[in-house]
Chains A and B, each alone.
Chain A
Amino acid sequence: MSEGLSVIEGVLRGQRETLLAEWVKAQLAAPGVRTDLISESELRVESDRFLTALVEAVSADSNAMDIMDPRWDAVRDQLTTLSRTRATRGFSPTETATFVFSLKEPLFELLKSTEGDLVATIWSATQLVDGLGLYTSEAYLRSREEVIRRQQDELIELSTPVVKLWQGVVALPLIGTLDSARTQVVMESLLQRIVETDSAIAIIDITGVPTVDTMVAQHLLKAVTAARLMGADCIISGIRPLIAQTIVHLGLDLSEVTTKSSLADAVTVALERTGHQIVRRKSASAE
């Protein structure tokens, strides 16, 4: 294999200009080339830079061919950057990996006229290009995952608004699945708002929480306890019939907490407790 690599190194060094020209041509001719997203000159610069790094890595590592080796750092870094920028620009994974895979044809073409065992040389070249191509795809995926993770974090922040309903009454409408990370954020913002608004009553509405299991219940109870320590009473509202039955079967004890089936009921209770009364002054015109 090392023999194959040294032949490749020879081609990369000796016929670099031809290879670069042919490679860029191959990339531009590839089906689905995104000239709308990347200019030819940019492509040429990227390709040129990649070949430089590749030559360095192949000569430094001419015995083994382990692209995860530190000697391949520069090559990998470049592929990672390339995948990331292409992912942001809207390239598909295939279009991104084509950058590396399109090197095969021009490289093989040049290897044809070299001395020695052609099959062994081509095999080495294939392994090399495939390895780099797969790495590119993985880097592409990683950059997408980063985006997803960042959005997840943003979503957690966004999805936990604590609203002030009335003087001394705050409400936290919970929507979606409550996991430990989210509950932590929810609890913090609830306690923070209780302090800011000097509230005596906090309503936690779970209408939008699809499943209440023991972990969710435990998180809720902790929030209630923490709020109580700060002098605020909690009302849990939005307990649908399904959830009520589940809670009974699970054996959860929520008797310490005021619970209401609807947010409207909870608001009424909260206003009563804070000394307000809701009075209807006129009958609605529709009646």
Chain B
Amino acid sequence: MAPDAAERIAIDSDADVVTARQRARALAVTLEMPSTDQTLLATAISEIARNITTYAVRGEVFIELVRDAKGRRGVKVVARDQGPGIADLERALTDGYTTGGGLGLGLPGARRLVDEFDIQTAPGEGTTVTLVKWSRSA
């Protein structure tokens, strides 16, 4: 499932969350994304990577450059873990709902920060979150 050209970052601690965020920001810079978009992307990664350390303890994040049919370029991020999974996805995507003592804005917030957001999860089977931020310039 992991694209082979992607850069893999093992997520094991808070420090790895920072690494993932910095790597994504560096890629966004190569696409000349405006700094607002860089920050939005970095924050979204921060949220989903933090979810890994909070709920699954460890997992991995893949970051890569992608291009769509219209030639638009963007940064794609896949965060994957083998953790407990999410039982009630609909509620998990609702503002203010949390089982981990947070603000309950991580997942719904991350979804609003990026252009494409997809989440695959089932109880006991881990969680995979995929998000894409497209560059606004051609």
Residues of A within 8 A of B (CB): 177, 179-181, 210-215, 217-218, 241-243, 245-246, 249-252
- Knowing A177-B18, A213-B50 touch, does A250 contact B36 (C-beta < 8 A)? no
A-contacting 9-mer, from B1-9, B41-49, B55-63, B73-81 = B41-49
Binds A, one of B82-90, B108-116, B118-126: B108-116
A49 to B14, CA, bound (A): 43
Is the beta-carbon distance between A246 and B47 smaller than 8 angstroms?
no
Near A by CB (< 8 A), chain B positions 7-54 give: 14-15, 18, 21, 35-36, 39-40, 42-43, 46-47, 50
Contact A249/B50 with A242-B35, A242-B36 known, Cβ cut-off 8 Å:
no
B residues near A245, Cβ cutoff 8 Å: 36, 39-40
Please state if A249 and B40 are interface contacts (CB–CB under 8 Å): yes
| Chain B, Cβ-Cβ closest to A178 | B14
Residues of A within 8 A of B35 (CB): 242
**Closest residue to A216 on the B side, CB-wise?**
B46
- When the two chains form the complex, which single residue of A179, A241, A251 contacts B112, counting CB atoms closer than 8 Å? A251
- A residues within 8 A CB of B18? 177, 179
Q: With contacts A242-B36, A250-B113, A251-B108 known, is A215 near B102, CB below 8 A? A: yes
Contact B47 A214 (CB under 8 A): yes
Q: Which of B21, B50, B108, B113 contacts A246 (CB 8 A)?
A: B113
Q: Which residues of A contact B69 (CB under 8 A)?
A: none
Closest beta carbon of chain B to A151's beta carbon, Å = 14
Decide: A214 and B36 in contact? CB cutoff 8 A. no
Distance of A195 Cα from B85 Cα, bound (Å): 44
- Determine whether the beta carbon of A246 is less than 8 Å from that of B43: yes
Given A179-B14, A250-B112, CB of A213 within 8 Å of CB of B36? no
Question: Do A249 and B46 form a contact, CB below 8 Å, given A180-B14, A211-B39, A214-B105?
Answer: no
Tell me whether B43 and A211 are in contact (CB under 8 A).
yes
Chain A residues near B50 (CB-CB < 8 A): 213-215
Tell me if A214 and B109 are in contact (CB < 8 A).
yes
Q: Which residues of B contact A (CB under 8 A)?
A: 14-15, 18, 21, 35-36, 39-40, 42-43, 46-47, 50, 95, 102-103, 105-106, 108-110, 112-113
How many angstroms from the CA of A142 to the CA of B35 in the assembled complex? 39
Q: How far is the CA of A242 from the CA of B42 in the complex (A)?
A: 12
List, sorted by A's number, 8 A–B pairs whose CB atoms are closer than 8 Å.
A177-B18, A180-B14, A211-B39, A211-B43, A215-B50, A246-B40, A250-B109, A251-B109
- Are A249 and B14 in touch, CB under 8 angstroms? no
Q: Besides A210-B42, A249-B109, A250-B105, 6 other CB < 8 A contacts?
A: A218-B103, A242-B35, A245-B39, A249-B112, A250-B109, A250-B112
Q: Are B102 and A218 in contact (CB under 8 A)?
A: yes
Partner of A213, one of B47, B95, B108, B112: B47
Is A250 a contact partner of B14 (Cβ separation < 8 A)? no
A77 to chain B, nearest CB (A): 29
**B43 adjacent to A250 (CB under 8 Å):** yes
The 4 closest A-B pairs by CB, nearest first: A250-B109, A213-B46, A179-B14, A242-B39
A211 to B35, CA, bound (A): 12
Nearest-neighbour CB distance to chain B for A185, whole angstroms, equals 14
A167 to B99, CA, bound (A): 42
Contacts of A249 in B (CB 8 A): 40, 43, 109, 112-113
Complex contact A243–B39 (CB within 8 A): yes
| Distance, CA A211 to CA B18, complexed state (A) | 9
Neighbour of B106 across the interface among A177, A210, A212, A214, CB < 8 A: A214
Q: How far is the CA of A181 from the CA of B53 in the complex (A)?
A: 14
Q: Which of B46, B110, B112 contacts A211 (CB 8 A)?
A: B46
Q: Whole-angstrom distance between the alpha carbons of A25 and B105 in the complex?
A: 66
Q: Which of B15, B39, B105, B110 contacts A252 (CB 8 A)?
A: B105
Task: Compute how far the CA of A213 lies from the CA of B40 in the bound complex, rounded to whole angstroms.
Answer: 9
Residues on the B chain within 8 Å of A181, using CB? 14
Which residues of B sit under 8 angstroms from A218, Cβ to Cβ? Answer: 102-103
